[in-house]
């Protein structure tokens, strides 16, 4: 049976060139990068070369890159590390985050509120999922009591791209630290941290054809930060633990390739995505696009299907060889509607029919045609 993988927002396959880098280094570079001897130096050279590559791609300095175990850890480290340090320095205790953040940010700020006494303000979004700059400016006030602002670059469930550079500029003018969860944006949107005006930015390699279990946190030099992992002093004391050098080298290769191909791939994916969106809205009634029409990731098409349960559609699609998602791994299976769909004003009834197709490097027009052939029948069956 035809197999069509359209869940690249959940994860991507490791691409061949990246796998080769990883395998070679796993086999050959076994030293501890902190060791004095030759094997250690070999690992340390590779580690620092990878750091330089990644820093270059982000327009950052190598010393501003902290390697982590992935997007979740980067988000946790940024939120906890910056907010706790800034409160200790200045007394600022308000956290400002968008209502549609990934749970790695959202549950972390909720914990900061419930266990550590921070105040939490959620920034609302409009029907397209966009944060308003006026709301950010109003919530910031003079900024003196704000410990951290965190707004994601692109949303995983609905694909909406937020105005990060503009929010960054507002925060910078008030000296308020600004973090962005760029995990969905990695390899798809420009990551220049100067242009984006961010103090911290999270990435996870497995969203851009790198391995799982590795990511990075960009942390601007001079930003307040308390390490969340202490011990051996690695990563300039900001994240202890022996670095996983082969995975880090693989991440550098993956982002390098993604950046080289980004413009061409964006055009190609946008065309396929628009074809899917147009044809689906046409061929199935009671379907609505979720998220922004224009300001959205080029590979991302998300919908709600009225009167059809997501789970039923996903199982039927899987039987037809198509891998899709309802949009949030955490929400699938549970009966709780997604906090993102709630925030854009959808009723629980509509939100129950969420369907996300996220395209990737291997996606072809034939794949989209296949989805368009089977989906109308599936929707009819699940509805009845």
Q: Considering only residues 136-175, where is the footprint of ligand PLP by CB under 6 A? A: 152, 156
Closer residue to ligand PLP (CB): 50 or 74? 74
Q: Closest approach of Cβ 329 to ligand PLP, in Å?
A: 8
Helix axes 103-116, 71-90, angle to 10 degrees: 30
What are residue 30's phi and psi, to 5 degrees?
A: -110, -10
Q: How far apart, in Å, are the Cα atoms of 108 and each of 72, 75, 86, 118, 343?
A: 10, 8, 16, 11, 18
CB of 150 to ligand PLP, least distance (A): 11
- The rounded distance, in Å, linking the Cα atoms of 267 and 58 is 22
Give the residue with the Cβ less far from ligand PLP, 33 or 210: 210
Largest CA distance in the chain: 68
Q: Which two tokens stand for residue 341?
A: 């769909």
- The residue among 32 and 332 lying less far from ligand PLP, judged by its C-beta, is 332
Taking the complex as a whole, the smallest distance from the CB of residue 286 to ligand PLP amounts, in Å, to 28
Q: Give the nearest distance from C-beta 11 to ligand PLP in angstroms.
A: 7
Nearest-angstrom CA–CA distance, 53 and 34: 20
When asked if residue 184 is in the footprint of ligand PLP (CB under 6 A), the reply is yes
Q: Which helix (H) or strand (E) element contains residue 270?
A: helix 245-283
CB of 78 to ligand PLP, least distance (A): 11
Tell me, yes or no, if 171 is annotated catalytic.
Answer: no
* Structure token pair of residue 28: 């050959």
Instruction: Tell which positions 199-218 bind ligand PLP, by CB under 6 A.
Output: 204, 206-207, 215
- Burial state string for 111-141 with b = 16 or more CB within 10 A and e = fewer than 16: ebeeeeebeeebbebeebbbbeeebbeebbe
**Beta-sheet pairing, 354-358 with 200-204:** unpaired
Looking only at residues 8 through 47 of this chain, which bind ligand PLP when binding is defined by CB under 6 A?
none
Point out which span in 65-73, 86-94, 255-263, 356-364 binds ligand PLP (CB under 6 A): 65-73
Active-site hit among 88, 133, 330, 365: 330
- Rounded distance between C-alpha atoms, residue 160 and residue 262, angstroms: 18
Q: Closest CB to ligand PLP among 7 and 235?
A: 7
- Nearer of residues 8 and 87 to ligand PLP, judged by Cβ: 8
- One of 31, 33, 70, 211 touching ligand PLP (CB under 6 A): 70
Residue 31 or residue 246: which is nearer to ligand PLP going by CB? 246
Cα(41)–Cα(37) distance, integer angstroms? 6
User: Could you give the string, one character per residue 88-127, with x where binding to ligand PLP holds by CB under 6 A and - elsewhere?
Assistant: --------------x-x-----------------------
Residue from the set 7, 162, 181, 243 that interacts with ligand PLP by CB under 6 A: 181
Whether 338 and 102 have beta carbons less than 8 Å apart is answered as no
Q: Are strands 4-5 and 322-323 parallel, antiparallel or unpaired?
A: parallel
Q: Is 71 in the site for ligand PLP (CB under 6 A)?
A: yes
C-beta closer to ligand PLP: residue 87 or 102: 102
Of the candidates 204, 197, 206, the residue with the CA atom closest to the CA atom of residue 181: 204
Q: How far is the CB of 260 from ligand PLP (least distance, A)?
A: 22
Contact 107, 328 (CB under 8 A): no
Q: According to the binding rule CB under 6 A, does residue 72 interact with ligand PLP?
A: yes
Residues of this chain that interact with ligand PLP (CB under 6 A) are: 70-72, 75, 102, 104, 152, 156, 181, 183-184, 204, 206-207, 215
Catalytic residue numbers read 330
């Amino acid at each position: 049976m035809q197999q069509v993988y359209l869940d690249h927002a959940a994860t991507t396959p490791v691409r061949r060139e990246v796998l080769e880098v990883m395998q070679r280094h796993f086999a050959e570079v076994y030293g501890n990068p902190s060791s004095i001897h030759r094997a250690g130096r070999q690992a340390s050279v590779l580690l620092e070369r990878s750091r330089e590559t990644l820093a270059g791609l982000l327009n950052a300095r190598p010393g501003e890159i902290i390697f982590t175990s992935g997007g979740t850890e980067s988000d946790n480290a940024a939120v906890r590390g910056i907010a706790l340090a800034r409160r200790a320095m200045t007394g600022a205790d308000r956290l400002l985050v968008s209502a549609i953040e990934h749970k790695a940010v959202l549950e972390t700020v909720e914990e900061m509120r419930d266990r550590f006494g921070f105040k939490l303000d959620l920034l609302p979004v409009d029907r397209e999922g966009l944060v308003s700059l006026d709301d950010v400016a109003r919530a910031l006030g003079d900024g003196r009591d704000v410990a951290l602002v965190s707004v994601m670059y692109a949303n995983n469930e609905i694909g909406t791209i937020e105005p990060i550079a503009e929010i960054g500029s507002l925060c910078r003018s008030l000296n308020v630290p600004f973090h962005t969860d760029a995990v969905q944006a990695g390899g798809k949107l420009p990551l220049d941290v100067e242009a984006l005006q961010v103090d911290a930015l999270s990435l996870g390699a497995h969203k851009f054809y790198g391995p799982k279990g590795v990511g990075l946190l960009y942390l601007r030099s001079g930003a307040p930060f308390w390490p969340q992992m202490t011990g051996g002093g690695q990563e300039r004391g900001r994240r202890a633990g022996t670095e996983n050098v082969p995975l880090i080298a693989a991440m550098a290769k993956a982002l390098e390739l993604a950046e080289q191909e980004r413009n061409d791939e964006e055009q190609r994916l946008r065309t396929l995505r628009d074809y899917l969106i147009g044809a689906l809205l046409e061929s199935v009634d009671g379907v609505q696009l979720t998220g922004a029409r224009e300001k959205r990731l080029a590979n991302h098409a998300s919908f709600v299907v009225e009167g059809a349960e997501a789970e039923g559609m996903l199982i039927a699609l899987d039987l037809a060889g198509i891998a899709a998602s309802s949009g949030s791994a955490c929400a699938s299976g549970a009966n709780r509607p997604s906090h993102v769909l709630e925030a854009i004003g959808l009723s629980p009834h509509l939100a129950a029919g969420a369907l996300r197709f996220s395209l990737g490097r291997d996606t072809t027009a034939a794949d989209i045609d296949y989805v368009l052939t089977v989906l109308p029948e599936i929707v009819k069956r699940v509805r009845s």
